[in-house]
Structure 1
Amino acid sequence: MSRQADGKPARGAHDREILRLAVPAFGALVAEPLFLLTDSAIVGHLGTAALGGLGVGGQALGTLLNICVFLAYGTTAAVARQVGAGNLPAAIRQGVDGIWLAVGIGLAVLVVGWPLTPWIVHAFGASSAVAPAAVTYLRISLFGVPGMLVTLAGTGVLRGLQDTRTPLVVSVGMFAANAALNAAFVFGFGWGIGGSALGTVTAQTVGGLVYGLAVLRKAQRQNVLVRPDLAGLRLAAKAGFNLVIRTLSLRVVLVVSTVVATRMGDAEIAAYQVGFQVWWLLALALDAIAVAGQAITGRYLGAGDVGRARTATWRMTQWGLACGVVFALLLLATRGLLPALFTTDPAVRAQLLGSLLVVALLQPLAGPLFVLDGVLIGAGDMRFLAVAGVLTTVVFLPCALLVFLLGGGLVALWLAIGVWILARLTTLVWRARGTAWLITGAVGG
């Protein structure tokens, strides 16, 4: 590794390391929103009610899944620290515990979520036209939750081991299978929105099996036991608690936004569904650098190298800002073409055009935000992230309430989301400038 005169890695070396992890992670991350974007493009041809049902059902399912994102993020940080400390068997063992925890949570979500599906859809305020499609989509999709959670945990293990290429290969395969199956089930067999959900469930389940086998092979090579370990499961669950609080605060914002959009009308929730999926696609693309931040920061701090952790953080933040600007320009350039890909309804198209303008303008803020979020996760600074998540959600809620009470449209709703983005960025920049998160060793703060 090339070095500067002060002994720190040169900027080019940091860039190569960031790109080595971030480029494959980008491909893997965008597969998730591409699932729903593909679903949106296919289901959109079934009508506005079906597209709105996908919006409500997809958002509800996303809430359930994203509560469990600690299976990926927490595992990445924990495994990376053990790798930095030179203890590979311990890293693999933590990954195995994460896989078993994912299986247990996934089955519990399926059992509990199935009878509650109509209530969940009603809580989102879906109209009588949208609700049946939302219930159908969500009930079928619940069967894919165990596979998707195992995918999250398996992805976290491999990222912590500094391997983002394998998740890329698996994600591309899952996306291709999802697109082919959805098209066949919806258009070929005429199964409607239920066919779209079934295609995604099938792809998610196969992907989970692939990740489970990948972790199993690594465990066998290191002579690590793969049977469930209650102490390890409790430790993994405890470590994820603060990340769950952080994630719940994020989901509150997204759920409230969906509820507000739903109460505006069917055209608005249909447009919000598409706009949100575009936002989520760009967010996860930016999150590729955050994934690099999790893996790099965890490894450096595990090895006790605070200087490299700080230098890499600054460089990754620059990358996040640059990528945010590029994504904003790309979206502005294609904004006029996107609505026609998802719907033929003129009202939905008009709502979507205004929404995409705000989504584009938020990208330069989102870039460094996602990077710093990933860095602090990699550092194990979960308690701060939980507190900051709650505080910034409190900032957002009055803005969303004003949009609802004053009858604001989708543009006003996206501007309220922009206030939340700015509040999150401010808190993370303040934290990153300090030293409280720079805890070294195999176990983070």
Structure 2
Amino acid sequence: MDYAEKRKLILKGDMAKVILTLSVPLMINNLIQTIYNLTDTFFVSRLGDIEVNAVGFVWPIIFFMMSIAVGLSISGTALISQYTGANDHEQAKVVAGQIISFSFISSTVLGILGFFTTPFIVSIMGAEGELFNYSVDFLRIILLGLPTMFIFFAFKAIKQGQGDTYTPMVLVAFSVALNIILDPIFIFVFNLGVSGAAIATVLARGILALYAMYILFTKDDGIKLNKCHLKVKKYWLKKIILVGLPSSIGQSTASLGFAVLNVFVKSFGSATLTAFIIGNRINSLILMPAMGIGSALATIVGQNLGKDNILRARKAVKTSAALATIFLIIGGSIVFITAPQIINLFTNSKDVISQATFYLRVISASLPLMGIFQIFNGTFQGSGHTIMAMLIMGSRLWVFRIPLILIFKNFTNLGEKSVWFAMILSNASVCLIGFILYLSRKWENKIIKKEFS
């Protein structure tokens, strides 16, 4: 399906078909990305526990950098989808070029600064001895390769804004396959250890980024760029930052919130922490359809707002919520029934099985709340009102979940169940906030206008 047909489908086609057409590649992409993250861990685990710990130890720093890239990509998707809906190809090209240039410049600066400050950062985090050395080696290479990560995020944002979620999925699959091939070569054949894993990842991403740029500069599928589009313009730089910064803040504060949450969960004992980790891994798989629908909704909302088709944008939100709920009820029902058997695949500890089973069954019954959260998040991001998305992302953990755990832990006899009930109540509370923001209709105001190039 070419650009024109995809735009027509998004603006006029059957809504359920539109959502599924865009969201299925995103679901597959999320699954592939999970494999990508596991690849390094799998091969590094053959080196030893310290090496595996080093890769996991520096992950919060990498995730923080990713949150900046995600903010830029969300900004790009919102602006490009609205200009695409408005049939303003020139402005869409300008935004695409600016996203690429700003992504490259910011990632290069961050990468260089990170390279020289890595020993200090890792030391502050508390690493010593071999853990310190391996962590520094791995993180330095990953940070130098930040432009490859940021460039692909920019490409994905541009294509998604146009309604093309298939091409990024194919490229990510190719990159994962390449990483699987390169990892053992650099780790074992060249005997580079942890550094080899980082080099393989950067090379796989680099080849992916180069081909992505080749597509944008040679293929005329709605957006075909040339050098003039890459010239940085102050006006667009400011606009991209204003839209993208709240998303970056939301992502990074959520990441920090989960890190703090782990500390509180651990206070209930190692069995509770293990049950929490296993349960979350299973939940993340069940949530993939809702996450994919939420991401697809951002494009659909953006293009229809750009076309001034507010009623259709509302219909997209309602249909997405219904589809996400159906998927999660089915997935949650399966998990509720088979929870003990699923947990048995990950552990033999009776205590962990008992706690994780209770957790999964409680959470699976409330999974539709997480689906609604993803829908509101996609709505606010696609409309470009990213402050609303930041509010629901940040408040879920910092305003509701963490305080509720503290209250339940200190003023009730719930014990480790404090965590599970706090999760349900925090999800319900943030959905209520999202619904209030949705009813305000402020998200229906598009963020584009006839602007200069």
Change (3 A) 1:71 1:354: farther
Q: Distance in 1 between matches of 2:273 and 2:136?
A: 16
Change (3 A) 1:397 1:337: closer
The answer as to whether partners of 1:71 and 1:102 remain within 8 angstroms in 2 is yes
1:426 aligns with: 432
Of 332, 342, 347, the residue aligned with 1:335 is: 342
1:179-215 deviation line (CA, Å, top 9, x unaligned):
2222444455554433332222222222222222222
Is 1:252 the equivalent of 2:253? Answer: no
2:4 aligns with: none
Is 1:364 the equivalent of 2:368? Answer: yes
Q: Which amino acid aligns with 2:203?
A: T
Change (3 A) 1:124 1:410: farther
1:4 aligns with: none
Q: Distance in 1 between matches of 2:437 and 2:189?
A: 53
Q: What secondary structure is seen at the aligned counterpart in 1 of 2:58?
A: helix
Q: Which moved more, 1:229-238 or 1:160-169?
A: 229-238
Change (3 A) 1:358 1:270: closer
Change (3 A) 1:193 1:235: same
Q: Which amino acid aligns with 1:425?
A: C
1:359-394 deviation line (CA, Å, top 9, x unaligned):
663643322211220111111222222334443323
Q: Distance in 2 between matches of 1:414 and 1:185?
A: 42
Post-superposition shift, 1:107? 0.9
Q: Which amino acid aligns with 1:336?
A: I
RMSD value over aligned CA atoms? 3.9
Change (3 A) 1:339 1:215: same
Count of aligned pairs between the two proteins: 429
Change (3 A) 1:99 1:285: farther
Of 303, 315, 340, the residue aligned with 2:319 is: 315
Post-superposition shift, 1:269? 8.3
Q: Which amino acid aligns with 1:78?
A: L
Of 402, 425, 445, the residue aligned with 1:439 is: 445
Is 1:175 the equivalent of 2:176? Answer: yes
Q: Which amino acid aligns with 1:212?
A: M
2:301 aligns with: 297
Q: Which amino acid aligns with 2:326?
A: A
1:56 aligns with: 57
Post-superposition shift, 1:438? 1.3
1:27 aligns with: 28
Post-superposition shift, 1:250? 1.6
Alignment of 1:103-114 (within 5 A): 103-114=104-115
Change (3 A) 1:412 1:352: farther
The answer as to whether partners of 1:124 and 1:259 remain within 8 angstroms in 2 is no
Alignment of 1:160-309 (within 5 A): 160-186=161-187, 188-217=189-218, 221=224, 225-231=228-234, 232-257=236-261, 283=287, 285-309=289-313
In structure 2, the gaps of 5 or more residues are 1-9
The answer as to whether partners of 1:136 and 1:193 remain within 8 angstroms in 2 is yes
Post-superposition shift, 1:94? 0.5
Q: Distance in 2 between matches of 1:431 and 1:291?
A: 19
1:103-155 deviation line (CA, Å, top 9, x unaligned):
01211221222233344445555687755443333222213321111111110
Q: What secondary structure is seen at the aligned counterpart in 1 of 2:343?
A: coil
Post-superposition shift, 1:80? 0.8
Change (3 A) 1:285 1:181: farther
Q: Distance in 1 between matches of 2:393 and 2:117?
A: 27
**TM-score (norm. length: structure 1):** 0.81
Is 1:381 the equivalent of 2:397? Answer: no
Post-superposition shift, 1:77? 1.1
The answer as to whether partners of 2:216 and 2:225 remain within 8 angstroms in 1 is no
Post-superposition shift, 1:287? 1.9
1:398 aligns with: 403
Q: Distance in 1 between matches of 2:200 and 2:415?
A: 33
Change (3 A) 1:10 1:442: closer
The answer as to whether partners of 1:37 and 1:278 remain within 8 angstroms in 2 is no
The answer as to whether partners of 1:355 and 1:410 remain within 8 angstroms in 2 is no
2:41 aligns with: 40
Q: What secondary structure is seen at the aligned counterpart in 2 of 1:336?
A: helix
Q: What secondary structure is seen at the aligned counterpart in 2 of 1:240?
A: helix
Q: Which amino acid aligns with 1:432?
A: Y
Q: Which amino acid aligns with 1:113?
A: G
2:68 aligns with: 67
Alignment of 1:71-150 (within 5 A): 71-122=72-123, 124=125, 130-150=131-151
1:409-444 deviation line (CA, Å, top 9, x unaligned):
998667655554444333222222342211147459
Q: What secondary structure is seen at the aligned counterpart in 1 of 2:63?
A: helix
Q: Distance in 2 between matches of 1:367 and 1:15?
A: 16
Change (3 A) 1:259 1:324: same
Q: What secondary structure is seen at the aligned counterpart in 1 of 2:442?
A: coil
Change (3 A) 1:315 1:375: same
**TM-score (norm. length: structure 2):** 0.80
Q: Which amino acid aligns with 2:81?
A: A
Is 1:15 the equivalent of 2:21? Answer: no
Q: Which amino acid aligns with 1:96?
A: G
